[in-house]
Structures are given as structure tokens and as C-alpha cells.
Chains A and B, each alone.
Chain A
Amino acid sequence: MLSELEKNEIGEVLAHALPGQDMSIDVLAIVQKHRGWISDEAVIDISACLGTTPSNVDSVASFYNLIYRKPVGDHVILLCDSISCWVMGYPTIRGHIEKRLGITFGRTTADNRFTLLPVACLGACDLGPAMMIGETLFTKLDEEKIDHILKEHGWQP
């Protein structure tokens, strides 16, 4: 069931558009904003309010990297694995984060605090290696900086 708040926000978006699969991204984003991720049930609810089939919504949801179809932690770390960041030391950074958090790509820490995901590019190729947590971009990463950022987000060694 979509919450009243979600329904209102969706209503606002749909008021300016034709219903159907085309509006899936916007509606998915709204629901994810409130819940952190998109459950199977949410896919069905969203398809009902768009007047389309669950498979049409899921087709869109599963295509996009930043629509999460599994539960994620409080903080999603998006680490860029594109070529510039790779050249600038992404493998070391990745190894360091994985060691610190004890998780690999696609996993969430046991305390549900962090999820680690690769991302294709953050538009910070001149400042690599780069990563993003929430709305914040972190650039020119090194091991020390990582420790600092993680601690700021509640990581305890």
C-alpha cells in the first residue's frame, strides 16, 4: 500500500503527464525517497496507480542502477569504477572500503549502516577517485580520507 504522502506526491507528478509506463521513473523515485528501496509489492502498487502492468514498471526499475530493488543500508556508497577513477587508484580505494566495512559490492553491512555499490560515472573525472554518499560527492579519495568519511557516517572501527 502506498502511503497518503506518497500518493499525494505521485498525484502531483501525474497531474502534469499522461499515466502509463512513461512516468515510472518519477513515481519510482518518489517511493524510493520515502522507503529507501522498491519492494515487489511497491512495484505492483506503482503499476496500479500508473495503469500499467507490474512487468512494465519492473522493467524500468530493474534497468536503473539507482533504483534499488533490494533493501539498502542507511548510507549507500556509490563508488565510481569508470576509467578515470580507475587510473587514479580506484582499485586501492575499493579494496580499502571493502576491508573497512567487511562487505563487497552489492552488499550491506550487518548493522545495516552501509551499502556499497559501483557507479559508472559521477561526472568528477578530473577529481578521481570519486564516490558519493547520499547527495554528497567525495573526490580525490585516499585511504585516510575514506576512514574519515566513514567515521563521519557512523562507522566504528
Chain B
Amino acid sequence: MITIYIDNQPHQIREGQNLLAACLSLGFDLPYFCWHPAMHSVGACRQCAVKQFKDENDQRGKIVMACMTPATEGVRISIDDPEARAFRSTVIEWLMVNHPHDCPVCDEGGECHLQDMTVMTGHNYRRFRFKKRTHVNQNLGPFVNHEMNRCIQCYRCVRFYRDYAGGLDFNVFGAHDSVYFGRQTSGILEGEFSGNLVEVCPTGVFTDKTFKKHYTRKWDLATAPSVCIHCSVGCNIIIGARYGRIRRVLNRFNSQINGYFICDRGRYGYEHILSEKRLHGSRIRENGGHKELRTNEEILRHLTPLIDGKRFIGVGSPRATLESNFALQTLVGTENFFHGVPDRDHALVERVISITKMDPTLTPSLDQVKNCDAILILGEDISETAPMLALAVRRAVMDEPRRHLAPKYQLPLWQDQALQEVTQNKPGPLFLATIGKTRLDNLATHRLSAHPEELSHFGFALAHAIDPAAPDAGETSAEMESCVKSIKEALLAARNPLLISGTGLGHAALIEAAANIARALRHQGKNAYLDFVLPHCNSMGLGLLGGRPLSHALEMVSQVDGIIILENEISRSFSSSRTNQFLGAAKTIINLDIMQTPTSDIATLSIPVASYAESEGTLVNQEGRAQRFYRVVPENPNLRESWSWLVEMMALIKNQPERLGKTPHEITTKLAQVNPIFAPLLSLVSWGSETQKIPRESHRASGRTAMTADISVHEPKPADDPGSPLAFSMEGCHGDVPGNLLPRYWSPGWNSVQSLAKFQDEVGGPLRQENPGRRLFESTGNPIKNYFAVSEKIKKNNHGRWQVVPLYHVFGSDELSAAGAAISERIPDPYIAISAKDAAQLNLLENSRIRLIADREQFERPVKIISSLPAGLVGVPMGLPGMPYVEPGTIVDLIAIPDHRDNEK
């Protein structure tokens, strides 16, 4: 700790910061634009000027930019100095010269950093009386709205999109007072992090296009802390709603996971809640037709004869909460509880769980990933399956040269531009061993493109090379040999090498090979990490609950009275023929889901349930971190949470005496009591004071008394939310609440998301009283270190047929987000991918039609030629709307379909 003097008062701060970060950490209001806690300083906007003095006798001082000046021991500055104040006020007046002052029609109004800073500096009268420069805006696609006239040239957008996130299709054009931020030509912003521009931009140049469709000012949004459900990483988000309608998603800071950013799947995926495919009414099959059930009583009346005294099996879901899955498991009994996932995923998730349990210290948080100094990705295309992990990897790789060059050039790590010059943007060690090209390729030191079997073979060979005690994979090719050698050297030269793999390729040997490499590195004394990407937001939670593989349900279904399907579309786990076989054999299907699906269409009884924004519950992410999310709108009696229906059913089935509970809080508590692995959940749901809850509405939410005035002038009682730390109210504890329970970031004078700094002891650091989720795996201190044997199946097959490999898409592969309006515009059309070599051999062109024939499935789709795909593989996009499920690794036949247009000629 060092002492600095601000306006003659001593303050203790951590060494190594710049003055702006130090001032903000100490709680001072110092205006800034170009600086960002995750992107650091460039000194472009000149807004954070302060006066620096040589010593206590220096009366004159000099003006310096706080963000570019190191906070060193004994430094003396003044924020309040009249000259510094005048300087800042002049700078903002000049930045505002071309600003259109269109706040009333601007979506940023009310949460605008530019508004806040303008007020803060006291620039309140416009003297500029000349013509303002104007720009033509671009259509940037379905996510981001563009209004360039509002720009104040802080350059944060390009610094995020290009420098931080590695996007290429966005840039800055022009010079002097006519600088333009956008694409070279109008068109879709392709990067999967483009939505962050909305939060990064200090004013309204980039705003949320989906929010525009149902816009509400920030202060009128009821908000609640939530967790993203669109991949296994579990980024934290804030969901905003008004009049019971979900309106937008913003990033929620979690020091261990997503920090300041989220991906576009997470930001725009919420629109599935508003989709036409959303289920609203219950209906039952009767006399060959459907009957709508209007009330809960009516549903219960029809439910009773269906389940009373009957024997059901349950299909759980990796996208439903722990609570709902637990309720189903309790209802049907563990032996009748099946995981609604492909058997292969089920086995892989179990494998990942057992590896994680053996040594939880191997698993990094996303924040730790950013500090790893050599990374090997084995098999998983993380840019598509876990975008925020890919962003963390990008940062780790780009920051690695900075970390070791900065001391050499005596540069602090916050000197962004200088460090870019010093490193020449040369990335650190990153090795990719995947089946085809990925969006991280341009950072890779070395990349290997091969069959899944060859990749795991390579993995085992690498583990053996690092630690000869690890089993040998047998012969390797000369090319692979040299690859193993160079990667081994790079990993052993690092302090924190990281292995990333996952369930994406559906290949168990890959996961074991990755575990072997990580363990071998630990044996060599490295602080190695091992991270696995899982298929869904609660794959880990479902796996930990226990249950049987879905194919076993296929055998049991004819012996029982019916199936209860929890938030699950069966055809995503089974081929079409097996789906039909399974659902056809069921005497009764009770389906609880958010969305209309083929399964809900044929269900005996279909009950719509609450989405994640409308419920409270727990999800466990890929690292085993349990996180609680909260509802943003009051419970809708017609859209109850799944567990609440399952609890009702327990009461109806007569041999189930005990009710699990009436609130999510009670269910979670029960789960923690009966299943020891979930015992840590108690600390997640216990919240200090029940007397002062945290209000979801801001203290200046408007319209409360007018909302229902057309019905009655008496204000209705606020909805209850028992057990939850949050209230449906404007009143309650606005102040010092645990960081992870903050429903919004706001502080007097700081209306924008930049107010986040007011909730941190040090900008960029953890939130005050933050509980960043709870890791369920405790280190035993005695990790199991033995190696997996080399699986016999990893030999590449050479039978001349085709092997299915799954391909993934950020926009499309996730079931729920794909139903959102904006995201659906970005989903690729279904296809079957083959390599360029195979296409030439089969005489196939891009988009010519091809038929894939597997044992239980066959379908026809256009061909997509992927030059980087190894020959002999056929890429099938997973989960894309219109694509059936084909098990990874399946051996299939391909038949080219003659082009009818040619025949007509």
C-alpha cells in the first residue's frame, strides 16, 4: 500500500494503478470517457485532467491526465483545483460540439455516461452556434442500432471490438472532426460480442436494437440479478422488465466469471421468452382433439386421473433448474429419473464430473483463464460452444506477452497503447487441436486439424511426452511427433498452462487425454489448469443430481403408465425414429415446457411453465459453480415454475406424503439437506436480513400508481416473493447489499453502467460482499493423480465410410436462444458439411444436395464445403433448427442427389 494525496488529504491505495483508477476506487467523482476498467488507458479524450503538484510547497502544479499518470508513493494531486475543473469543463464542451443533444429521443437517455459526465463537469450551456457535422448511419444487423451523430470520438468501441475482442469487420474511418465508427459498408456486425458496444459506448451511438422494440427508460425497468442459460459458462446478467414483459439483458459483473462483458447469445437470447413459440395455455388431448385448459383448477382436475396411483418415469433437463430437476427426481424416484440428453453426453458429463471431483483445484474460473500463459485447446470449438471462454482465452493469449514485456520496458499493465506497440500485438502461446478451423485460429501459435481419434491420440502422446509415467499412445506420425515436441516445450515453459476440452465432439477419449496432459503437467510441478465445456447451462447440475441415461427410458417406457417430460425436446437427444418410438410407446405424456416443441404438440397434457426470467433457481456451470438467479417479474399463476407443478403432482400421487416445499428457497434447502453434494447451496440461499429486502424497482420508477388506475384507483398490494432477497417494490435496501444481489448499477450522479465502480472497493476488482457463486467441489487436499489408460477405440477407422462430427454455431445450436427474433436472423441454414477434397472426389459443389443415411436416421440437406475439415468426416450442425440429432461418431453413408434443374435442361 502507498499513500497519495488528493486535495491535501492522504489516501491509502494499492501500488501500480493509474491516478484515475485510484481516484475512482477511492470514491471520487472524476469524469472520463476513453478509459475502461477492462481496456485500461489510452489518454485519448483528455477528460480526466487533474492538477499534479511536485510537493506540498508547489502552489502552481501542472495539469496531467489522471488515466495516464501512475499513482506513486506521495504523489499530490488536486481534483478540485479551479484550473483543472475549467479544463475538464472545456474539454467536454468541445467533445459536445457535434453532439445532437437529442437525449429525449435517445435510448441511452437516463443511463448515459455522457449525460452524467456533462452534468459532473458543470457544462450546462451550449455556446456552439455553427452547423454540426452529420453522418449517415449503418444497418448493423439485428443486434445493434447505429446513430453516429451522437459520437464523441472516445474510441472505446474500436478498442473493444477490435483490440479486446479481436473483431475485424468494424473500424474507424476519416480524420479530424469527421471520424466515423462503423463497418466499411452497411451490414451485419459479425462478431459474437457486438452487443457489448451498447454498454461500452458512453453515449447513444450503439444501442440495443431488440430493446428498441419495447423500449423503457432504465429507471422504469424492474430488474433482477440472473444467470445466462444459453451455454455452460453461466455468465451473470441483469434482466429488465416492465409491465410483466421482459425487455432486455445487460451484463452483470461477476469477478470470477464474465467480468464486464457477455456474448450476443446471452444478451439477445432472452427474446425466446417473447417468441410466438412461447407456450401460454395448457391443453389436453381429448377425443382426438385438443382442449384448452384455462385455470389451474381445471388443469389439476385433468391431471388427477392421469397420474393418481400411476407409475411414471421422468425425463429431466439440462436447461431446467436444479430445483425443477430435483422435484421431478423426487416425484418419480431416482431409479425412474432419466437425463433428457443424448446417452453420449450423459456419459461424457459423468466423466467430466468424476475428473473434476478427483482434483477440483485443476478447474479454473474464467478469471483465472485470463491469467494462463500457455493454452492448448483439445477438440472443442469454444468460440461456438462457450464464447465467453473463447474471449477469456483471447485475453490470456494477447496479455501474455504484455505481462512479461511490461517490466522490461518499465510500463504499467494499464498503458494499453504503449503495450500494443511493445508487443506489436503478437499473441502468446496458444495451440489448437481441433477438427477444423475456429475463430481463434488467427491467434494460434500452432494448429492441428485432425479426426477426433487422431486428436485424442495426439493428447495421450503429449501427456506421455510430458510425463513418461503417463500411458503411451503408441506410434505417432512424424508431423504429430514434432507437434507434440513443440507444444510440450511451450507448456513446460509456462507457469500456468491451461488445457481446454469439452463434450462438443462427443469423444470420451479426448476428455481423458486432456485430463492426462493436465495431470502430467502437475506432476512436472506446473500449476496447470483443466477446463471442460459442457453442453448446457445446467449439464453439471443435472449430472450431479444423478439419474439414468435416456436410452434406458426407451426400454422402460412401455412398462409404465406414462412419462413426465421436464423442459425438454426429446428429438434433440434421440434420432427421429427413436423419438417416435419413445413418445409413441408412452401411454401418457405430461410435458412441462417454456416453448412449443414437437414434443409439446403431441403431449397428452401440455403445461406451459415459467422461463428463467420468471423464476428463481440454481444452475451449476461447467466449473461446478452453483449460481442462484432471481425472477424479475412476479409469479404468473398461468406460468408457474416447473417444480411447483411437480410438487402439486406429488400431492396428487397418493403414496407421496411429503411436500418438498412451497418456495424455491424451501426446495433448494431440501435439496441441500438430502444430497450432500449440494450442501453448499445453503450458503447461496441464506441472505442476512428478511426485514429489508432489495427492491427490484428503482427509487424513481414511474407509473406505479397509474398502471392499473383504469381498473381501480386503489394501488394493488405488491406481489410476494417469499424466501427471496428481492422485493417487487421501489422500497427497501437500496444501499449496501451483497454485490451478487445487486439488481442494477446506479449511484447518485452515475446513471450509466459505469456506476459499477461505485460497488467495488477497487475498480475492476470484486464487488463489495460479492458471492460469486459457490463451487460445489471441495478440494480434498489429496487429489487422485493416476492416469487414464489409452482407450482402445481411438484408432482412426479406415472403412471407407463417413464419420459424423458435430459442428456448432453460436447462433443456432442453443435451443432457446435460437427461438429469439434477433438471433434467428443470424442462424445459418441447415447443411451437411464435407471437406474440399471429398467434395471434389464426389463431384459436389457448394449447395448441391446430399443425403445422409445413418442406421436410424436419414435426411437430405445442401452441401457446405469446409476446406479445413479433414477428409472422411461429415460435419453435422448440432441443434440447428431443422436438423435432426445424429450421434457424433456415427458411421454413415452419403449419397449425392442429382440436381433437378440440370435434368430440366
Contact = CB atoms under 8 A, between A and B. Distances in A.
A83 to B, nearest CB: 16
Given A40-B185, A58-B184, A64 B173 contact: no
Contacts of A58: 171, 173, 184
A53 B168 contact: yes
A105 B173 CA distance: 20
Given A43-B184, A55-B183, A63 B174 contact: yes
A89 interface: no
A112 interface: no
Contacts of A40: 185
Contact of B184 (A55, A63, A64, A65): A55
A59 interface: yes
A28 to B, nearest CB: 14
A92 interface: no
A56 interface: yes
A73 interface: no
Contacts of B840: none
Nearest to B185: A40
A60 to B, nearest CB: 9
A16 B388 CA distance: 40
Contact of B175 (A54, A55, A65): A65
A59 B171 contact: yes
Nearest to B184: A55
Task: Report, as a range, how many residues of chain B touch the other chain.
Answer: 10 to 19
Contacts of B173: 58-59, 62-63
Nearest to A59: B171
Interface string A20-54: 00000000000000000000100100000000011
B172 A59 contact: yes
B723 to A, nearest CB: 51
A59 B94 CA distance: 24
Interface string B167-205: 011111111000010011100000000000000000000
Nearest to B175: A63
Counting chain A CB atoms within 10 Å of each CB, which of B168, B170, B173, B180 scores highest? B173
A59 B174 CA distance: 7
| Dominant SS among interface residues on chain A | helix
Contact of A56 (B171, B174, B175, B185): B171
Contacts of A62: 173-175, 180
Nearest to A40: B185
Contacts of B175: 62-65
A58 B170 CA distance: 11
Contacts of B171: 55-56, 58-59
Counting chain B CB atoms within 10 Å of each CB, which of A40, A54, A64 scores highest? A54
B172 A53 contact: no
Interface in B348-396: none
Contacts of B174: 62-63
A68 to B, nearest CB: 13
Contacts of A65: 175
Contacts of A56: 168, 171
A64 B183 CA distance: 18
A77 B173 CA distance: 24
A19 to B, nearest CB: 14
Nearest to A52: B168
Nearest to B173: A62
Counting chain A CB atoms within 10 Å of each CB, which of B171, B175, B185 scores highest? B171
Nearest to B182: A55
Interface in A58-90: 58-59, 62-65
Contacts of A43: 184
A37 B165 CA distance: 33
A24 to B, nearest CB: 12
Nearest to A53: B168
Interface string B604-630: 000000000000000000000000000
Contacts of A63: 173-175
A59 B158 CA distance: 12
Interface string B518-553: 000000000000000000000000000000000000
Interface string B153-175: 00000000000000011111111
Contacts of B184: 43, 53-55, 58
A56 B168 CA distance: 8
Contacts of B183: 55
A121 to B, nearest CB: 14
A53 B170 CA distance: 10
Given A62-B175, A63-B175, A64-B175, A53 B169 contact: yes
A43 B171 CA distance: 14
A84 to B, nearest CB: 19
Nearest to A44: B184
A63 B158 CA distance: 15
Nearest to A120: B176
Contacts of A59: 171-173
Contacts of A54: 184-185
A81 to B, nearest CB: 12
Contacts of A53: 168-169, 184
Interface string B43-71: 00000000000000000000000000000
Contacts of B180: 62
Contacts of B169: 53, 55
A154 B8 CA distance: 70
Nearest to B180: A62
A154 to B, nearest CB: 31
A152 B769 CA distance: 79
A63 B173 CA distance: 6
A58 B169 CA distance: 11
A40 B171 CA distance: 15
Counting chain B CB atoms within 10 Å of each CB, which of A55, A56, A59, A62 scores highest? A55
A56 B162 CA distance: 11
B799 to A, nearest CB: 40
A56 B169 CA distance: 9
Contacts of B170: 55
Contacts of B168: 53, 55-56
Contacts of A55: 168-171, 183-184
Nearest to A43: B184
A135 B168 CA distance: 37
Counting chain A CB atoms within 10 Å of each CB, which of B170, B171, B184 scores highest? B184
Interface in B122-172: 168-172
B499 to A, nearest CB: 32
B424 to A, nearest CB: 11
A53 B187 CA distance: 15
A20 to B, nearest CB: 11
B182 to A, nearest CB: 9
Nearest to A62: B173
A150 to B, nearest CB: 28
A40 B186 CA distance: 12
A33 B904 CA distance: 50
A25 to B, nearest CB: 13
A4 to B, nearest CB: 26
Nearest to A58: B184
A58 to B, nearest CB: 5
A64 B173 CA distance: 10
A33 B184 CA distance: 23
A13 B184 CA distance: 25
A65 B176 CA distance: 10
A54 B173 CA distance: 12
B737 to A, nearest CB: 43
A9 B180 CA distance: 31
A42 B184 CA distance: 13
Nearest to B174: A62
Contacts of B185: 40, 54
A43 B180 CA distance: 17
8 contacts: A43-B184, A54-B185, A56-B171, A58-B171, A58-B173, A59-B173, A62-B180, A63-B174
Given A40-B185, A55-B170, 9 more contacts: A43-B184, A54-B184, A55-B168, A55-B171, A56-B168, A59-B173, A62-B174, A62-B175, A63-B175
Shortest 5 CB-CB contacts between residues of A and residues of B: A55-B171, A55-B184, A62-B173, A59-B171, A54-B184
